[in-house]
Amino acid sequence: MTAFSNPSYIGRFAPTPSGHLHFGSLVAALASYLDARSVGGRWLVRMEDLDPPREMPGAQAAILDALERYGFEWDGELVRQSERHDAYSQVLDRLFSQGLAYACTCSRKQLEGYNGIYPGLCRNAGHSMENAAIRLRVPELEYSVEDRVQGSFRQHLGREAGDFVIRRRDGLYAYQLAVVLDDAWQGVTDIVRGADLLDSTPRQLYLQELLGLSTPCYLHVPLIVQPDGHKLGKSYRSPPLTPEQASPLLLRALRALGQTPDVSLSDASPREILNWGIAHWNAGLIPRTLTLAEAQLR
């Protein structure tokens, strides 16, 4: 453990089982793990299985298996969002009955040309919840987050986000709602994740405020991208994390995070590399950029 100890720290890794873990997920998992363990904190894993149609069969088991083979140990029971629907539904009903959220029956076609910012067509329509998407009414205010790596990030919710969906028309709960409720319910104090989620953070801060939940600390690590700027993922055929590659990929992920693992670690086991990472973790060395090109990493 480093000089600073914070046993009340609770971090988490929250993969979506739409595909295998890839190098970008490894970077995010490693950063959240080391940030938690270096202060003697807890580290949780939560399966964000909100969207069964987009789930890849076998992905949940493959993700957990990859985490174990890469040496990660999590605290407590795995939480699955598919088992949390009652909690989401209670909050959704409350937001709806308080008029903070409303039902939207707009078709995709009707919303073309608005750049994803909902123009408020159903705001005062008084539709019932059935067969409709539920949107959260956002205030005409700027929300800002002091990110530990990315610095200050601000967003005007009305102009840059718009009233956003918290339950889809097909009945599936939205990521924004579930993530806020679960992080609070699990007592998460520190959220370390990929920078693609930085622009979701102001919406999450607003939900926390509405629901009287405390706001965690945020650290967004650079997103690992392809040469064409695309996020790594199954659509860009980024290879799954294989067990044979565990040590070299962990070392590469450490370097992507600005850490400088000893050359002597080149023959080390995943667990030894993680222990080195815990002992030497310095979040101040993480590159302060939103993306890193995978091809340029050593």
Using CB under 5 A, list all residues that contact Zn ion.
Answer: 104, 106, 121-122
Interface residue with ligand GLU among 36, 45, 48, 205 (CB under 6 A) is 48
Q: How far apart are CA 245 and CA 288, in angstroms?
A: 27
Query: Scanning the structure block, which residue is given the tokens 């945020």?
Result: 218
Question: Is 9 marked as a binding-site residue?
Answer: no
Question: Binding residues for ligand GLU, how many (CB under 6 A)?
Answer: 7
Phi, psi of 132, rounded to the nearest 5 degrees: -140, 155
Does 197 interact with ligand GLU (rule: CB under 6 A)? yes
67 neighbors 35 (Cβ within 8 angstroms): no
Question: Is 217 marked as a binding-site residue?
Answer: no
Write the Ramachandran bin of 147: left for phi over 0, alpha for psi from -120 to 50, otherwise beta.
beta
Does 24 interact with ligand GLU (rule: CB under 6 A)? no
Q: How far apart are CA 123 and CA 111, in angstroms?
A: 14
Question: Is 175 marked as a binding-site residue?
Answer: yes
Question: Is 16 marked as a binding-site residue?
Answer: yes
Q: What angle do helix axes 246-256 and 23-37 make, rounded to 10 degrees?
A: 70
122 contact, one of ligand GLU, Zn ion, none, CB 5-8 Å limit per kind: Zn ion
Q: Which of 179, 253 has the CB closer to ligand GLU? A: 179
Does 193 interact with ligand GLU (rule: CB under 6 A)? yes
14 contact, one of ligand GLU, Zn ion, none, CB 5-8 Å limit per kind: ligand GLU
Q: How far apart are CA 102 and CA 133, in angstroms?
A: 8
Interface residue with ligand GLU among 14, 161, 180, 195 (CB under 6 A) is 14
Write the Ramachandran bin of 262: left for phi over 0, alpha for psi from -120 to 50, otherwise beta.
beta
48 contact, one of Zn ion, ligand GLU, none, CB 5-8 Å limit per kind: ligand GLU
Q: How far apart are CA 142 and CA 15, in angstroms?
A: 29
Residues 162-181 that bind ligand GLU (CB under 6 A): 179
Min separation Cβ 44 and ligand GLU, Å: 11
Q: Which of 104, 249 has the CB closer to Zn ion? A: 104
